[in-house]
Amino acid sequence: MQTRSEQEPGRWPRWTLAAAVLIAGCGKSPNDDLGVGPKVDVKPELSTSDAVLKQPMTPAAQPATEPFEPPPLADLDAKASWIDRPVKDGLVLLRAAQAAEQVLCSVADAVALKNDSAENNGKILSALGRLPAESEADTQARIDRHVVGDLGSTNPIMISTSAEFDILGLTGFGLFSFGRDLEPFASAETVVSWQTSADGLLDKVVMRDDLVWSDGTPITAHDIAFSYTVIMDPRVPVPAVRSGTDQMKGVHAYDNQTIVFFHKEPLATNVWNINFPVLPQHVYETTWEKDPTLKDSPEHVALEQSPVVGGPYEIVDRTRGQQIVLRRRESWSSVDGKKVRDEPFFKEVRFRIIEDPNTSLLAIKAGDIHEMILTPEQWTTQTTGDDFYERNTKATAPEWVSFHFGWNIESPFFADRRVRRAMSYAFDYDEMLEKLCYGLYQPCAGNFPEDSWMSPKKKLVPYKQDLDTAEALLDEAGWIDHDNDGIRDKEIDGRLVPFEFSILTNQQPLRIAICVLMKDCLDRIGVRMNVKPVESTVLQDLTQKRKFQAYFGGWGSGVDPDSSENIWKTGAMRNFVNYANPEVDRLFEEGRRELDRAKRAAKYARIQEILYEDQPYTWLFWRNSFYGFSKRLRGYVFSPRGPFHYSPGFGSLWMPSE
């Protein structure tokens, strides 16, 4: 076990809370250049985002938390029989992993390579993904990053979109994180020890005592307990992070360093529920009661502009819609003149906000930004020449983001499973993967990634186009062209309803092209589909209100399969397609309570099989990560959640000194 003591300086926490984010607002996100649709990420690593949906955002009738009297710590210690949990440093883990890896080529060779084969991609990742040797990194460097949308808020508990996660992940304070393998741990930069009681109902964390907010006040356990209270206050319009915390009974600080999390049940997901953003109590305790929106009062407006932060970076400049500049916080790495932690590699991180992918490509070619997500078209045809390779290189790796057509089961068309299966049989997957996606994406058969532990052992076979089967299924379901107008129809409530419906998608060209391909496929079997591209925000609104017949969207898979419960459980808020299956509901319930990984896996595998049979979605493809990087950048390492959203993630990037 690589548990580290607090004396060893670690790196900053990179708490990876909100990769769970919905892509609200901008509809696109850095890890979502194609946009993953209405709500992209399935609140990946913790049960964050269903908060938005489960919990009303307006002042609610429900109590914040049930009154709860924490027992004395001595009593807890006497009864709990604590089990030690890992306290790690993501960067140290990565360094250890890299020490065991063979380097496939030299940096000079890798920089000269063109990424036109899997072999070269491997070489580039191997040579340029290395962490720096002693004093190899330029610690005065600035990195210019790319985000596709502005921040909605700089308050970490308001985190919701991927852009916010990118930025607030660097300024925010947290106790927990997870590594490249998506296994959770407490961060050695902020935590001394983490223990869980044998009954799984308690988690105890002892924090380090050398942590301060950007205004110089110490960060204590009381800040964490306070943040829990604020997050659970129904008057506070928390968009995403409440859904994990609502599974807890309470959080109590016993002294400045010791904090205990009390769970309602011994759930497998408790480990994610204790990971939530932290606010400075001394700043908000007086203002919060006066203005529970946390953004309307003059004090909160001022805080929004220059927040008091606990992470390794602080916001020093913000021009709305253009850029956000973060600077390394000296008080993160040294307290009272004593070095207590390693400082992050970059002195300054500048986020450039560019929405249009063509514009950002021009920016990276000109050297104005150092990294960006590439679309399949950009990867294949526009980043192959010297104009791109002069300053940049690119890399790819698998990522757990999948896309689908969602069929609204409450519409008259898709209530019948046979119709949904017919839709899946009608689509031309080969044409989509080869022509529209440039052969870069992988076929997808269901909601859990094929190589993940929760996926069925017997691989599900992705659907293939089979128009005969599709037509036979539609005939069987009663959709036959009765009135000889070339469109299938069916008598519903005494009225002949033609099979003509609309599909919603956002306005990205690739998505529209995929919908148009589906339109053509359905046209061939006597079904009319109208493609309706709408603004991302409109798409979100309509899907949340279930005002659609079909939509095109995507989800980032959660680190824990339980995170997709709010997509499939009957009546769940992100269950846009109104799917209802008691067996699936039961399996999610059981999966959450099952602590044995193998038995848990069997339950989720069964869910996947049921969904495969029911086809509430037509699953289309897994979208891999495709990134362009400046040749000056080093240290990028991909996880199933992309190169940034894990630990160390962004923290492993560096630039060599000239």
Partner 1 sequence: MNRAASHGFWAEAWRRYRRRPLAMAAVMFVGFLITVAILAPVIAGTKPVLCRYKGKLYAPCLGYFDRRLEPVIFTKDRFRGEYPRNLKEKDPESWAIWPLFFQDPYRSVRNNEWPGRPANPSRDEGRPSRTNLFGTDQYGVDVLAKMVHGTTVALLVGFLSMGIAGTIGIVVGALGGYFGGWVDMLTSRITEIVMCVPTLVLILALVAIVDKPTIWKTMAIIGCTGWTGIARLTRGEFLRLKSSEFVMAARAAGAGPVRIMLRHILPNALAPILVPITFGIAAAILMESSLSFLGFGPPPPAASWGSLLNDARSNLSMWWLVVFPGTAIFLTVLAYNLIGEGLQEATDPRLREARK
Interface positions with partner 1 (CB under 8 A): 357-358, 375, 377-378, 380-382, 431, 435-436, 438, 467, 471, 481, 484-486, 502, 507, 509, 512-513, 515-517, 519-520, 523-526, 528, 530-535, 538
CA distances from 493 to 266, 409, 477, 526 (A): 49, 17, 16, 22
Decide whether 519 or 632 has the Cβ nearer to partner 1: 519
CA distances from 209 to 6, 194, 228, 333, 532 (A): 9, 15, 20, 13, 55
d(CA 489, CA 509): 31
Decide whether 113 or 426 has the Cβ nearer to partner 1: 426
240 within 8 A of 52, measured Cβ to Cβ: yes
d(CA 635, CA 643): 10
- Residue 536 CB, nearest distance to partner 1 (Å)? 12
Decide whether 202 or 374 has the Cβ nearer to partner 1: 374
Decide whether 524 or 599 has the Cβ nearer to partner 1: 524
- Residue 437 CB, nearest distance to partner 1 (Å)? 11
Burial code of 282-308, b = ≥16 C-beta within 10 A, e = fewer?
A: bbbeebbeebbebbeeebbeebbeebb
Q: How many residues does the chain have?
A: 658
Q: Residue 634's closest CA among 112, 17, 127? A: 127
- Residue 358 CB, nearest distance to partner 1 (Å)? 6
Q: Residue 488's closest CA among 477, 478, 479? A: 479
Question: Which amino acid, residue 201?
Answer: L
Torsion angle in degrees (nearest 10) through CA of 538, 539, 542, 547: 130
d(CA 580, CA 569): 7
- Residue 362 CB, nearest distance to partner 1 (Å)? 10
For the chain, the distance separating the N- and C-terminal CA atoms, rounded to the nearest angstrom, is: 37
Decide whether 285 or 500 has the Cβ nearer to partner 1: 500
Task: Write the DSSP symbol of residue 19.
Answer: G
- Residue 502 CB, nearest distance to partner 1 (Å)? 7
d(CA 551, CA 559): 25
Q: Residue 236's closest CA among 138, 342, 156? A: 156
Decide whether 81 or 381 has the Cβ nearer to partner 1: 381
- Residue 541 CB, nearest distance to partner 1 (Å)? 10
Decide whether 235 or 482 has the Cβ nearer to partner 1: 482
Decide whether 296 or 485 has the Cβ nearer to partner 1: 485
- Residue 486 CB, nearest distance to partner 1 (Å)? 4
- Residue 435 CB, nearest distance to partner 1 (Å)? 5
Decide whether 42 or 531 has the Cβ nearer to partner 1: 531
d(CA 153, CA 169): 13
430 by Cβ neighbours in 10 Å (0-12 / 13-18 / 19+) ranks as: exposed
Question: Which amino acid, residue 630?
Answer: S
Decide whether 79 or 547 has the Cβ nearer to partner 1: 547
- Residue 538 CB, nearest distance to partner 1 (Å)? 6
The C-alpha R_g of the chain, in whole angstroms, comes to: 25
- Residue 391 CB, nearest distance to partner 1 (Å)? 19
Residue 591, SS3?
Answer: helix
Going by their DSSP bridges, the two strands 528-533 and 500-505 should be labelled as parallel
- Residue 519 CB, nearest distance to partner 1 (Å)? 7
Residue 184, SS3?
Answer: strand
Decide whether 289 or 520 has the Cβ nearer to partner 1: 520
Decide whether 348 or 481 has the Cβ nearer to partner 1: 481
Secondary element (H or E) of residue 597 = helix 597-614
- Residue 163 CB, nearest distance to partner 1 (Å)? 22
d(CA 550, CA 36): 15
